[in-house]
Amino acid sequence: MSRGLQYDPCDTELNYILPSKNVDEAPSGLGKLAAAALQSLEASVALPSKKTHDDVLRANIGWAMDPVGWAKRQAASAELERQTAHIADALAGAGVNVVLDGDVTFIGAVTGVVEQQRVYRACRFLPTVAARDRRPTVNGLKLFISGHKHSKYFRYAVMTCSEPVPFSAYLQGDMRGAIQELNRRISKWAHTAQKKKWGVEVLYRGIEFTRATAAERDAEAHARGQASNLSERYGADTVLYHVHANVLYWPTRALPGDAWKAFLRFTHEATGAWWKDNGKVGNVEELVKYCSKPNDTLKSSADELVWLYHATQRLKLCQPLGDFKDWMKALEVAGEKVVRVHVGRGDGRLMRVKKRKKSDKDSDDEKEKKKKEKKDGEDGDESDAATDTEKKAPPSNMLLGMTLPQWRHTPWAEPLIMVQRYDPSKPFGEAGGDIEAWKRAAREMWDDNFGPEPEEALRVAQMARDAALSADDIREAAEAAEAYIVHTCRPTVPTGGNADEEVPPEELDDDLREVVSLFDGATVVRLAPRTTDEDNEIPFEAPDVVAWREKLRADLATSEARWAEWRASAAQVPGRSSELDCRAAA
């Protein structure tokens, strides 16, 4: 690092190329037409939504993913849950409870798998909380970038505080003050960079802090060939946190070499931090990160976790700025969210989707029900201890709603029914009817999207988790599960004619016999040839489309007859050359 400017000398050299004109200046000629078409295509994905929650539910249910990749993803999720539980238990042992009362139970709407999950407070360095809060920002930023006409000029930089924040039994630095001060400086820098001559707009700021002892940081610096004496200043075993911010910014006009160096000097003076320009944005996940690495947090002692909890409590660690902030606000006002929607062939696309809202009628009914319950309670004269205890006890089996399809239990996405304080021994009351109706609707959509039998899906999921077979065998089992439901479901029950024939095991080849052996009681059926009469039962085109095509064919035939008559009359005109005759015939 340069001691004078606190940024790498290589950063003073432009590592990107911008045109000499203003980037907002529109191209001309053919480039103008191409740019307009590209802009229209890119902006279409960020337009207000035409899809609803139910549309996404219908499109995503039964969405299949690679079972081997799904197993790895499940293992990573389980590790995050384990790390979060370990950190939460350590905090609880130190007197800080981050677990909310009333866990949430997820019930698979198709498979029926029941899974309980803890509910945590908004503690940002808990891995599962960080992952939950990170997803909407990642999806929103991806869609915002894809729909912005100047996104190719977006750049990613890192600003690191020049001084670390120490923690030890005898020295506890002001982590909260360091984060707040860096946030304030970046906000002022962003305002000045845009309003003054630089024309740089800041779109996102995310705080991150890394953890290492003074001795470890000295060793890292020495390995890079840099001098460092942090062990002498703080003590070798003192934990040092380096607070830095990931910043997304947009130079709205070209910055020549001298202007770029001047901008770096201005940035250092305004933020008091080291500056590192990382070039164009390649991966949004590298920009929007967890505030702390889970493995680093696991190394922290109980006292250090409590210190970290109070230092980050109710702080905005990730914050959209500028145009991205306005875009996210407009999304919230419109009651929309960014969701990946299945578009076929296993591919998904980020889209703006209307959030599911409770109807006004339901709200009125709920209010009327509460008024009636309150009135009945006031009119009643029972006040024994048992009744008071029952009133104070939190209700069981509270139905919270149904999520969009997730790959939680199998490699095929299914919606999850959320229930708070789940107790299978107690009735659901009026909510029981809703649950059964949701299950029936989910299974119907699952079958419409050619999802496998739930038992087969769970069998493939278990095979993928156990990893007892090879990856190819697991994928073949998943394909066989899907093929089973596709080839055995028929629109009508066949009556008469040739019946389907069951193939004896000895007639199967070795590969197919091995796949069939993975499913208990499975057999291979050779479907009978389909009769030509079935074609008449499949409406490939609507009647109005058929009529339009017939009219088009008739008009073409009439035009062809007129052209043939004209060509014949033109050939009989005296004095016309053979060249003209050829042209007329053509």
Tens of pLDDT, residues 169-190 = 889 999 999 999 999 999 999 9
Residues 6+ apart with CB under 8 A from 173: 164, 165, 166, 167, 241
Q: Where are the alpha helices (DSSP H) in 45-66?
A: 53-60
The predicted model gives 451-465 an average pLDDT of 94
Q: Is 192 exposed, middle or buried (0-12, 13-18, 19+ CB in 10 A)?
A: middle
Q: What is the pLDDT of residue 430?
A: 65
Residues 294-323 pLDDT 10s: 999 999 999 999 999 999 999 989 999 999
The predicted model gives 142-154 an average pLDDT of 92
Identify whether the C-beta of residue 46 lies closer than 8 Å to the C-beta of residue 346. Answer: no
The predicted model gives 88-107 an average pLDDT of 92
- Does the pLDDT value for residue 394 go beyond 60? yes
- Does the pLDDT value for residue 549 go beyond 80? no
Pick from 171-175, 335-339, 503-507: least confident = 503-507
Pick from 52-61, 156-165, 387-396, 517-526: least confident = 387-396
Residues 6+ apart with CB under 8 A from 216: none
Q: What is the pLDDT of residue 384?
A: 41
- Does the pLDDT value for residue 528 go beyond 70? no
Nearest to 56 by CA among 358, 402, 345, 408: 402
Directed axis angle between helix 257-271 and helix 175-195, to 10°? 140
The predicted model gives 422-450 an average pLDDT of 85
Which residue type does 171 have?
Answer: L
Beta strands in 325-465 (DSSP E): 336-344, 347-354, 398-402, 416-420
The predicted model gives 280-287 an average pLDDT of 89
- Does the pLDDT value for residue 31 go beyond 60? no
**Percent of the chain at pLDDT exceeding 70:** 71
205 vs 521, residue with greater confidence = 205
DSSP string over 430-458: THHHHHHHHHHHHHHHHHHTTPPPHHHHH
Q: What is the pLDDT of residue 406?
A: 95
CA distance 239 to 164: 9
Categorize the per-residue pLDDT at 389 as very low, low, confident or very high, splitting at 50, 70 and 90: very low
**Percent of the chain at pLDDT exceeding 90:** 49
The predicted model gives 330-349 an average pLDDT of 92
Nearest to 59 by CA among 439, 451, 428, 323: 451
Q: What is the pLDDT of residue 260?
A: 83
Residue 33, Cα to own-chain centre: how many angstroms?
33
Q: What is the pLDDT of residue 515?
A: 64
198 vs 361, residue with greater confidence = 198
Q: What is the pLDDT of residue 537?
A: 38
Q: How far is CA 562 from CA 555, 558, 567, 572, 579, in A?
A: 11, 6, 9, 16, 22
Q: How far is CA 324 from CA 189, 321, 351, 390, 584, in A?
A: 17, 6, 16, 49, 62
Q: What is the pLDDT of residue 15?
A: 38
Q: Average pLDDT over the chain, rounded to whole?
A: 79
Q: What is the pLDDT of residue 393?
A: 63
Categorize the per-residue pLDDT at 422 as very low, low, confident or very high, splitting at 50, 70 and 90: confident
Q: What is the pLDDT of residue 483?
A: 64
CA distance 81 to 128: 6
Beta strands in 517-582 (DSSP E): 524-526
Q: What is the pLDDT of residue 536?
A: 39
Please state the pTM of the whole predicted model.
0.71
Q: How far is CA 79 from CA 84, 286, 441, in A?
A: 9, 20, 33
- Does the pLDDT value for residue 8 go beyond 60? no
The most confident of the ranges 181-195, 213-227, 388-402 is 213-227
Residues 506-520 pLDDT 10s: 776 666 666 666 665
CA distance 527 to 519: 20
Pick from 126-135, 186-195, 364-373, 456-465: least confident = 364-373
DSSP string over 254-293: ---HHHHHHHHHHHHHHH-EEEEEEEE---HHHHS--SS-
CA distance 170 to 204: 36
The predicted model gives 430-453 an average pLDDT of 87
